[in-house]
Amino acid sequence: MTGLLHDWFRRDIEVPLATVVGGPARLKVIVLLACVLGLNAADMATIGAVAAPLERALQIGNVEIGWLVAVPTGMGALVTLPFGALADRIHRTRLLVITIAVWSLAMAVGGAATSYSMLLWSRLFLGAAIAASTPAVISLTGDFFRPGERGRIFGYILAGELIGVAVGFLISGNVAAIASWRFAFWILAGLGGILAAVIWRLLPEPARGGQSQIPVGAAEVPGVELSHATPDTAPAEACSADAAANEIKEKVDQRHIEPHDSLLHRDPANMSLWQAVRYVLSIRTFRGLVIASALGYFYFTGLRTFAIVFMRDRFELGQAVASTVSVVMGLGAVGGVLLTGRLGDALIARGRLNGRVLMGAAAYLIATAAFLPGLLVGSLYIAAPFFVIAAAGIGGANPVVDAARLDVIPSRLWGRAEGVRSALRLGLVAIAPPLFGYVSTWFGAEHRGISTPTPGSSSAGTGLEQTFLIMLLPLAAAGLLLLFRAAKTYPRDVATAIAVERARQPEQ
C-alpha cells in the first residue's frame, strides 16, 4: 500500500508540479520555503479559527483575541531588523532550522496554557521566531532564482502562506470543534518540528548574489557550505557571467535609464545595520512598496483574525461550517498569487519595466472593489463570489510587490532590507487585530464576546461588517500609492541597484 501511494504521489503530483516550476530541484526549494511561510500563517489563522473555544475557555472577548495576534506581531517588529542583518551574514538555512524549532516549542507551550496571560507570554516568544524566518526566506529566494522570474516564483512560495491560512482555518477550526483548541496548537507544533528536520537535511545554503541560481530542469539544488559563503569570502556576485542576459537588466540598458548618482558609491557588503537602514529607506520605490505592503497586510491580518467570527454571526453558520466556507472562499487568494506573479513577469517581458508594480496596484484596487458588495449583501451565495475575487486581489498583490522590492535593492542588502520592511509592516500589522476587535465591539457594543447569537441577532457580525468596510480605506490607499508613486520611481531605482552591483564586479 505504501509503495502504491508513493507511486501515485510521484506520478500525479510531484512530477507535474516539477514540470510546472522547472524541475525537481526548483520544486524542492519552493516547497520548503513555502512551508516556512505557511507554518507562520497557519498559527495566525489558528487564533481566528479557535477564537470561539478560546473565548469560552479563558473568558475573554474580541479585543483579547486580537492581542493574541498583535503580541507576536509586535515582538516580530522589534527584533526583525537584527535578524535581517543576520540573514545577510550567516548561514540562512541553519537560521531557519533554529527559529522553526523555537516556534514549535512556543506553540506547544501555548497549547498547554492554563490562563490567558500564559498563552500571551508563549506567543511573545513565538513572534521572535517568526521575525527571523521571513528575511531568510526572501534572501534565499533571491539567490536561488533569476530576477526575471521572481514574480512567478514568489507566487508559488506565497501560495504556501495562503495554504497555511487554509490549514489554520480548516484543520484547527475542525479540531477545535471536535476535540479542543489545545490539540490545534499541538498539531502545528508537531508539524513545525518535522519541517525543521526536513530543512536541515534537504535545503543547502546557496552562494550569495546568484551563483547558486537553479537552472531549469536541474535535479539537485546547488549550494555551498557556510565556510565557503561568509560575508568576507562571498562578495556580491549578482553580476555573474550570465546575469547580463537577464530580462530586467537588458531593458534598463536598452532604455539608457540613468541611476541615482548619490547611491552609487556605497559598498553594501560593508555597511553597518543602521547605515543599511538609512540606505534602503532612501530608495523611494522601496518606501512606496513597503508602505503599500504594510497597508495590505494590515487589512489581511484583521480579516484573517475575525473572518470566521464574521461568517458565523453574519450568515448564522456553525464553527466547522464557517471554517470550511472561509477556506473555500480563501482559495481565491491562492489563485491570485499564482496569477499575478506570472502576469507581472509577462509585462516585463513585453517591455513594461514597471509591470510588477502595476500588477500590485491593480490587485489591491480590485480587492477593494470586490469587498464592498460582498460585505453589504446579506446572502452568502451572493457574497461568496465577491469574497473569492477580493481574496485573489489581496493575495495576488504580494508576489509582485515582493519581487519588485528585490529589484531595487542590491543583493548584499536583501536580508537587511527585508528586516526593515518587516519591522515597518509588522509594526502596523500588530495593531490590526486589537483595532479591528475594538472597532467591532464599538459598533456591536452589546456583543463583547463570541457566544452563539440568537436567531435574527448578529451584532458581532454587524460590528465586524462595519469594521471591514471602514478598513477598506487603507487597502485602497495601498493600490493608489503603487499606481501613482512607486510605478513612476521604479525604473530609475532598478537602474541604480544594477549599477551598484556592477560597481562591485571588478572586485570579484
Q: Domains of the chain by range and CATH?
A: 22-203+274-502 (1.20.1250.20)
What is the distance between the alpha carbons of residues 490 and 177, in angstroms, rounded to a whole number?
48
SS3 track for 324-341: HHHHHHHHHHHHHHHHHH
What is the distance between the alpha carbons of residues 328 and 56, in angstroms, rounded to a whole number?
26
pLDDT at residue number 262: 65
DSSP SS3 for 7: helix
pLDDT at residue number 71: 85
pLDDT at residue number 266: 65
Residues with Cβ within 8 Å of 15's Cβ and at least 6 positions away in sequence, in order, are: none
Residues with Cβ within 8 Å of 241's Cβ and at least 6 positions away in sequence, in order, are: none
- Cα–Cα distances in angstroms (integers) from residue 54 to residues 49, 62, 229, 240, in the given order: 10, 10, 46, 53
Question: Cell 508559488 belongs to which residue?
Answer: 156
206-249 confidence digits (pLDDT tens) = 887 666 788 877 777 776 543 333 333 333 333 333 333 356 77
pLDDT at residue number 209: 67
Could you tell me how many residues make up the chain? 508
What is the distance between the alpha carbons of residues 348 and 248, in angstroms, rounded to a whole number?
7
What is the distance between the alpha carbons of residues 443 and 103, in angstroms, rounded to a whole number?
35
- pTM of the predicted model as reported, rounded to 2 decimal places: 0.75
pLDDT at residue number 107: 92
pLDDT at residue number 459: 43
pLDDT at residue number 15: 65
pLDDT at residue number 263: 62
pLDDT at residue number 35: 92
pLDDT at residue number 238: 34
**Cβ pair 199, 342 in contact under 8 A:** no
For the chain, 508 residues long, the average pLDDT of each consecutive 10-residue run is 52 65 87 89 80 84 82 84 85 92 92 90 86 86 85 86 77 79 90 94 83 76 50 35 52 79 67 86 94 94 84 80 78 87 86 92 97 90 93 93 90 86 84 86 56 39 82 96 96 88 60
Question: Helices 380-407 and 116-144 sit at what angle, rounded to 10 degrees?
Answer: 50
Residues with Cβ within 8 Å of 448's Cβ and at least 6 positions away in sequence, in order, are: 61, 62, 441
**Cβ pair 477, 295 in contact under 8 A:** yes
pLDDT at residue number 233: 35
95-149 confidence digits (pLDDT tens) = 999 999 999 999 999 999 889 999 999 998 888 887 778 888 988 998 898 887 8
pLDDT at residue number 198: 95
CA torsion sign for 86, 160, 54, 104 is negative
Q: Which DSSP letter does residue 243 get? A: G
